[in-house]
Amino acid sequence: MARAIQLADQGRYTTQPNPRVGCVIVRDGELYLLGMHVSPLATASTHIHPDAARTRKLLLHAEEISKLIGKVEQSTRETVDAMQSSAEQTTDTLQRAGRTDEALNQITVAVGIINERNIVIATAAEQQAQVAREVDRNLVRIRDLSQQTSKGAEQTSVASHDLSTLASQLKTMTSRFTL
């Protein structure tokens, strides 16, 4: 009851034309409006000074009251069921979010490992490229030296041929002289 009054008090001076807060209380099988801000018509009021926030008794038959109470109880059960379902869904969602977070953390760790491996592979590839360039330079040097050696061998061959020719000529010339 104190809570109903407190809620009704929150809506004071802000109810135009209908109340925003208030409650219906069942007391001794009768219904009362509590905390409702209802502005009565001046011509229909039995009070000298109408009070918009006074407690009002609802004039209903017992059968109508029972129907209203039944509807409120049914609505309350449906609300509780909906809240329980919502709580279960919230719990399920939180569990899924937790699993998703774990999966994302594992993916983040895996991506970090992949990045580290990519760096190692890139470093190794760069080192291999440097070695390949050095091997290429050495092969070019070997080719150049082989060409120089080949030219030198040709020159030696020509010189040997020339020397052989000279040796033959010298032998022919010295064979004329006898002792």
Taking residues 81-104, what's their average pLDDT?
Answer: 96
Place of tokens 């040097």: 141
Query: So what's the pLDDT on residue 179?
Result: 63
6 pLDDT tier (thresholds 50, 70, 90) = low
Question: Does residue 14 register a pLDDT over 90?
Answer: no
Query: So what's the pLDDT on residue 68?
Result: 82
pLDDT digit string (tens) for 121-178?
999 999 999 999 999 999 999 999 999 999 999 999 999 999 999 998 888 888 887 6
Distances (CA, A) of 75 to 34, 35, 58: 20, 21, 20
Name beta bridge partners: 25.
32
* Burial tier of 20 (Cβ tally within 10 Å: 0-12, 13-18, 19+): middle
pLDDT digit string (tens) for 55-85?
666 677 778 878 888 888 899 999 999 999 9
Taking residues 40-60, what's their average pLDDT?
Answer: 62
Tokens at 29, concatenated = 């099988």
Global pTM value: 0.45
Residue 15 to residue 12: CA distance in whole angstroms? 7
Question: Does residue 20 register a pLDDT over 60?
Answer: no
Question: Which helix (H) or strand (E) segment is 27 a member of?
Answer: strand 23-27
Query: So what's the pLDDT on residue 31?
Result: 75
